[in-house]
Structure 1
Amino acid sequence: MPFLVLIVVAVILAFSILTAALSRYRRCPSDKLLVIYGKIGKDASGEARSAKCVHGGASFVWPVIQDYQYLDLKPMTIEIDLKSALSRQNIRINVPSVFTVAISTDEGDMINAAVRMLGLGAQQIKDLAADIILGQLRQVIATMDIEEINADREKFLANVTHSVGAELRKIGLKLINVNVKDLVDESGYIEALGKKAAAQAINQAKKEVAEQERDGEIGKANAEQERRVKVSAADATAVRGENEAKITIANSEADRREREADAERRASAAEKIAIANALK
């Protein structure tokens, strides 16, 4: 009987341990980042690791010495209403824009996110990212002219992406997209640039139309000249042919008359010879 009790106790204990172990085995959904913290171990350099990050997998969380939390990987949209940013020409402009960011799943960036954003709510993360974006956006604008920002939008966005993206990675965020809306300045400089560009485009279009009309008239005159030259050449060839034909006919007629006269002379001479012979 005591032996049976020991078996039952052992089974219950094993089942309890297994249940506890299974309850500490955490799976990580695809849209989450599992952050395990506590006594994690040491990294390659021998220093204690601050956290262990798991994405798209699972890990065992030891009781007592470890705990865990999830970070949401869903993209976050942050509207930035930057006003009075100073350009390189000391002209202030407003740059309303929308940034899309998310917690990065790159190895080093995940640790940064775990260290700096674990326990923060979505709005707190947005506010932290917005502060970084505002500062970097002002720095980028300060290095560019208004004409460059307005005309070469791709270069402006590339500079913003490079500068903002590098700073966001320091807190574990990844920049997904940047959408800059219409730029506005208080002095009306950008509007004047637009009017100037429109006027230049209209003048260039008028110039091109005039050049096309001129080329058309020149082409028409050249074609008419070529037609007249060809017609004159054809008429001259026709007249020359007619004259040559007339000359050929006249020569043929002269030859005919000469042959007829020669034939008459021979006939007359033969007749005279015949008469003379008869008289003898």
Structure 2
Amino acid sequence: MGFETCGPDEVLVVSGCCHEHSRFISNGRVFVWPSIQQVQRLPANLMTLSVENLKAHSKNGIQVSVLGVAEVKICKNVQDILRVAAENCLGKTEEQIGNILREIVQGHQRAVIGAMNIEDIYCDRKKFSLAVFEQASNDVINMGFQLVSFKVENVLDEEGYLMARKAERARNEATQH
């Protein structure tokens, strides 16, 4: 007989005898019968994921690299979603979980890049970030996590398209005056 304690950055998953379904404990402790019940731990701290799409094609066919940051955490307070997280992630390290979630957000970021013009991606980063957040949130929830935030850190145009457009606008403004 023994008690298992759960810290604020984890969720205990108790399974085995005496319960029809696994029990989820966050921020507390639980009595566990050794040999007939099993305790596993899920990381519940906020994960910061670097999301990179290198040389993706925008809607107007220009190659662009976008570097973003996603903040993701497990849904500790919703039992059904927590059950999904347990099914998908028990036995995996926090790094493995982060890699899975990063790939989900990267895929949605690439889709948004393909749906927007490079000027919109570069000039309206809030709109771009919101589009990635909205598209990725559902798939992240389906993994048992929630996307807390997503922001664009940098937009790079290695072909020089944005610099050429900027120079063109400057020339047009100079000829108008």
TM-score, length basis structure 1: 0.55
Contact kept, 8 Å, 1:34 with 1:53, in 2: the verdict is yes
- 1:196: Cα distance to partner? 4.3
- 1:122: Cα distance to partner? 1.9
Structure 1 residues 40-119: aligned runs within 5 Å: 41-42=19-20, 49=21, 51-107=22-78, 108-119=80-91
Distance in 2 separating the partners of 1:151 and 1:80: 19
Distance in 2 separating the partners of 1:182 and 1:147: 14
Provide the aligned C-alpha RMSD in A: 2.4
Distance in 1 separating the partners of 2:97 and 2:167: 41
Which moves more between the two structures, 146-155 or 173-182?
Answer: 173-182
Instruction: Specify the code of the residue in structure 2 equivalent to 1:58.
Output: R
Tell me which of 129, 141, 146 is aligned to 1:169.
141
Relative contact order higher in (CA < 8 Å, ≥ 6 apart) = 2
Contact kept, 8 Å, 1:52 with 1:111, in 2: the verdict is no
Which moves more between the two structures, 141-150 or 191-200?
Answer: 191-200
Give percent identity, aligned residues only. 30
Distance in 2 separating the partners of 1:93 and 1:58: 49
- 1:40: Cα distance to partner? 6.1
SS of aligned partner of 2:27: coil
Distance in 2 separating the partners of 1:87 and 1:40: 55
State the match for 1:125 in structure 2.
97
Whose strand proportion is higher, 1 or 2?
Answer: 2
The answer to whether 1:28 aligns with 2:39 is no
Q: Aligned pair in 2 of structure 1 residues 38, 152: CA closer, same or farther (>3 Å)?
A: same
Structure 1 residues 131-142: aligned runs within 5 Å: 131-142=103-114
Q: Aligned pair count?
A: 175
Instruction: Specify the code of the residue in structure 2 equivalent to 1:119.
Output: G
Distance in 2 separating the partners of 1:144 and 1:115: 35
Q: Which runs of 5+ in 2 are unaligned?
A: none
Instruction: Specify the code of the residue in structure 2 equivalent to 1:34.
Output: L
Runs of 4+ displaced beyond 4 Å: 196-200
Whose helix proportion is higher, 1 or 2?
Answer: 1
TM-score, length basis structure 2: 0.83
